Amino acid sequence: MHHSRLSTFVIDCKVGDLDAAARFWSAALGRKLAPVDEDSPTYRELVAKPEEPMLLIQQVEHDSRIHLDIEADDLDAELERLEALGAKRIAYVKRWWVVEAPTGQRFCIVRPQRGPLEGRANVWDGEGR
């Protein structure tokens, strides 16, 4: 048994000035910028309410787009569950899986971002339900 839930909307920005991109999205979405995490220089976070998904601005080399992250307490079990639904694994990067939905969108499976998931997420048994 494992747990998972929608974690984050990530706004991928192919830009030279990540801070300018973050200021734009902060103003556009009416969300304050969180303090910069010096350990994650290619990310900026917009403050979201506790019940909302996280909002990240990410500096990327590929075309700009928006993707989502699913947080799971067992990344491999979540990958297997999603593959059984038709998803395709693309790559393991640092600490997360990049996956492609059968409809073509790419997304990531990440470790829990805001504490334990038990009691706050979907519960999946070995049968994927």
- Burial zone of 4 (CB within 10 Å; 0-12 exposed, 13-18 middle, 19+ buried): buried
Query: How far, in Å, CA of 5 to CA of 101, rounded?
Result: 16
Q: Report whether pLDDT(126) > 80.
A: no
Which tokens sit at 21? 């991109």
Kindly state whether residue 129 falls inside one of the protein's structural domains: no
Question: What are the pLDDT digits (tens) for 51-96?
Answer: 899 999 999 999 999 999 999 999 999 999 999 999 999 999 999 9
Kindly state whether residue 75 falls inside one of the protein's structural domains: yes
CA angle 3, 29, 4 (to 5 degrees): 5
How confident is the model at residue 81, as a pLDDT?
A: 96
pTM as predicted: 0.85
The overall average pLDDT reported for the chain is 94
Query: How far, in Å, CA of 83 to CA of 48, rounded?
Result: 30
Instruction: Identify the domain containing residue 106 by its residue range.
Output: 2-124
Q: Report whether pLDDT(117) > 70.
A: yes
How confident is the model at residue 51, as a pLDDT?
A: 85
Look at the chain and report how many structural domains it folds into.
1
Residue 125: band (very low, low, confident or very high) from pLDDT cuts 50, 70, 90: confident
How confident is the model at residue 120, as a pLDDT?
A: 86
How confident is the model at residue 129, as a pLDDT?
A: 61
Question: What percent of the chain clears pLDDT 70, i.e. is strictly above it?
Answer: 97
Query: How far, in Å, CA of 88 to CA of 15, rounded?
Result: 28
How confident is the model at residue 39, as a pLDDT?
A: 94
Kindly state whether residue 69 falls inside one of the protein's structural domains: yes
Instruction: Report the 3 state secondary structure along 33-102.
Output: ECCCCCCCCCEEEECCCCCCCEEEEEECCCCCEEEEEEEECCHHHHHHHHHHCCCEEEEEECCEEEEECC
Residue 7 maps to which CATH number? 3.10.180.10
